[in-house]
Amino acid sequence: MTAAVFRHSSPRRAPRLAFAGALAASIVLTGCDTGWLGERSAPPLPGKRISVLSREKQIEPEISGPVAKVVLPPPEANEDWPQAGGYSNHAMQHMVAEGELQEAWSVNAGSGSSKRRRLLGQPVVAEGKVFTVDAASQVSAFNAETGKRLWGTDTIPSDNSNVYTSGGIAYDEGRVFVATGFAQVVALDAASGRILWRQTVSGPMRGAPTVRGGRVFAVTVDNQTHTLAAEDGTVLWTHSGITEATGLLAGNSPAVDGNMVLVPYSSGELFALRVDTGVPIWQDSLVTIRRTEIIGALMDIRGRPAIDRGRVYAISNGDMLVCLDQKTGRRLWEKEIGGVESPWVAGDYLFLLTNNNEAVAVEAKTGRIVWVTQMQSWEDPKDKDGRIMWSGPVLVSDRLILGSSDGKLVSLSPYTGDMLGWERAPDGVSIAPVVANGTLYFLTDEADLVAYR
């Protein structure tokens, strides 16, 4: 097994990132330089030590001993990450980013999150370029090798001066498709950034579109799915779910596999529709009645559902994790576990983050919990001040990568859940990283795009 090690080439941050070795679960954030291996280049500085891991577990492993041994498929290289979640089925398995890696480049990609708008869209990688959409709806393209900015396009119409939060972007066949907060899907030429067409839809979008087979699938905040022709934006069909008055400030992306598009709505509804006609095949509702908190009462499915080998995996904010038969929609198993991050499928296992900031490994076939690692939930755990939110996970060369809203990048073992190390990010990381050509790309809350190679 080859360890993946990060080293900084930039003089502004000296700590090393390493995806090898093991640290005790009691590792703390200190004032000294601590890499992902836990090596120190100077004696500890005075100050308060705060554990990256919390100590309050809400769920427990259900199996132990030899049967709890996690076996993963070998890492595979991927040239592109063309849309949110990777490919259209959102099942990326086990990616490659190995060897001794360095921070190759860092560049600002536009406007970051603020009180008025949020940065929501994952970067996408294709044609040797990295494409981003910032919090002000500007789409940019960067050379994936050097980070050089190639072009930038403001997608907001010139006669509109309102503030919007765009959902995200997707790439397919030489085009970049943007789901916007001003109720338009916009197509751009990937080589030049020139706008090719616009199509108005029923409402703003907070999630990235999904593209497959010449069709663009986009979900609006009023729970309508609009399917457009990728060539010219012609509306092919629409589908409506239950309209919700409130929802999380984020969206979701449909999953597509074969002639099925799997559409999640903020109502907690999950629809399987025919790709060609939009006719429902089956539907489910990821809703429980146990949650009483206001935020928990929002049944939003914000994590992207995944389709893998005839099974569907989905999680809702309303404490419901399910595995469904892809053809019939029959529930194969369910757990009262809630989350807003996308579950990651790899072989016979599912990795996810819960609403209680637990990183969890689940047997994909049975739903049994294999291990649980409680991540830090507060910047000040004693006073429970400064809530921390985590993003991810992403499985890369035998390491699960997570980012946090307070600016930490953490590596966990997918086999045990043990913490392997951590590294400071330039800013908070609320969007899970993407992987392409052995390179990890992080987009921080301040819209800094950072590449490790």
Whole-angstrom CA distances from 100 to 16, 80, 146, 193 are: 10, 21, 18, 34
Looking at the predicted structure, is the pLDDT value of residue 279 above 90? yes
Question: Which of 386, 430, 442, 394 is closest to 249 using CA atoms?
Answer: 430
Instruction: Please give the average per-residue pLDDT across 290-302, as a whole number.
Output: 57
Strands (E), 79-194: 99-108, 124-126, 129-133, 138-143, 149-154, 168-172, 175-179, 184-189
For the stretch 57-99, pLDDT in tens is 578 988 888 888 999 999 999 999 999 999 999 999 999 987 6
pLDDT score of 195 more than 50: yes
Q: Which amino acid is at 218?
A: A
Calpha distance 255→88 (Å, rounded): 6
31 domain-assigned: no
What's the pLDDT at 160? 75
Q: In this predicted structure, what is the pLDDT of residue 404?
A: 95
SS (H, E, C) 303-335: CCCEEECCEEEEEECCCEEEEEECCCCCEEEEE
Beta carbons of 349 and 364 less than 8 angstroms apart:
yes
For residue 52, what pLDDT is reported?
Answer: 55
Contact 393, 346 (CB under 8 A): no
Give domain status of residue 156, yes or no: yes
Query: What contacts 284, CB < 8 A, 6 or more positions away?
Result: 269, 270, 322, 324, 329, 331
Task: Give mean pLDDT, residues 245-267.
Answer: 83
Cis link prior to 393 (omega < 30° from 0)? yes
Residue 263 has pLDDT above 50, yes or no: yes
Q: How confident is the model at residue 19 (pLDDT cuts 50, 70, 90)?
A: very low
Write down the pLDDT at residue 303.
87
Residue 57: its pLDDT value, please?
52
The pLDDT value recorded for residue 24 is 34
| Better pLDDT: 167 or 31 | 167
* Inter-residue contact 99 to 115 (CB < 8 Å): no
The reported pTM is 0.87
- On the question of pLDDT at 386 being above 50, the answer is yes
Q: Tell me how far apart the alpha carbons of residues 138 and 219 are, in angstroms, rounded to a whole number.
A: 20
Q: Please report which confidence band the pLDDT of residue 453 belongs to, taking 50, 70 and 90 as the band edges.
A: confident
Provide the pLDDT for residue 157: 85
Distance of alpha carbon 86 from alpha carbon 430, whole angstroms? 17
- Separation CA 261–CA 283 (nearest Å): 12
Burial label, 246 (beta-carbon count in 10 A; 0-12, 13-18, 19+): exposed
* 334 in any annotated domain: yes
Would you say residue 89 lies in a domain?
Answer: no
The answer, yes or no, to whether residue 267 has pLDDT greater than 70, is yes
Q: Which two tokens stand for residue 415?
A: 């086999």
Across the range 285-300, mean pLDDT stands at: 60
CB 4 within 8 A of CB 20: yes
More confident: 400 or 32:
400
Whether the predicted pLDDT of 406 surpasses 60 = yes
> Per-residue pLDDT averaged across 270-282, rounded?
97
The CATH number that applies at residue 192 is: 2.130.10.10
Q: What is the pLDDT of residues 316-349, one digit of tens each?
A: 988 899 999 999 999 999 999 999 999 999 999 9
For the segment 357-367, the average pLDDT, to the nearest whole number, is 96
At residue 53, the pLDDT reads 55
Q: Which residue, among 116, 178, 172, has the nearest Cα to 152 in the 3D structure?
A: 178
Domain housing 435: 103-452
116-140 burial by CB neighbour count: b if 16+ within 10 A, else e?
A: ebbbbbbbbbbbebbbbbbbbbbbb
Mean pLDDT of 202-211: 94
Looking at the structure of the chain, the number of domains it has is 1
Percent of the chain with pLDDT over 90: 65
Given a cut of 80, whether residue 43 has pLDDT beyond it is no
What's the mean pLDDT when you consider all of the chain? 85
Residue 255 lies in a domain: yes
pLDDT above 80 for 425: yes
Q: Is residue 90 part of a domain?
A: no
CA distance 340 to 250: 9
* pLDDT higher than 80, residue 418: yes
429: in domain:
yes
Task: Give the CA distances from residue 405 to residues 357, 385, 427, 444, in Å, rounded to whole numbers and listed in that order.
Answer: 12, 14, 8, 9
3 state SS of 224: strand
> Does residue 260 lie in a domain region?
yes
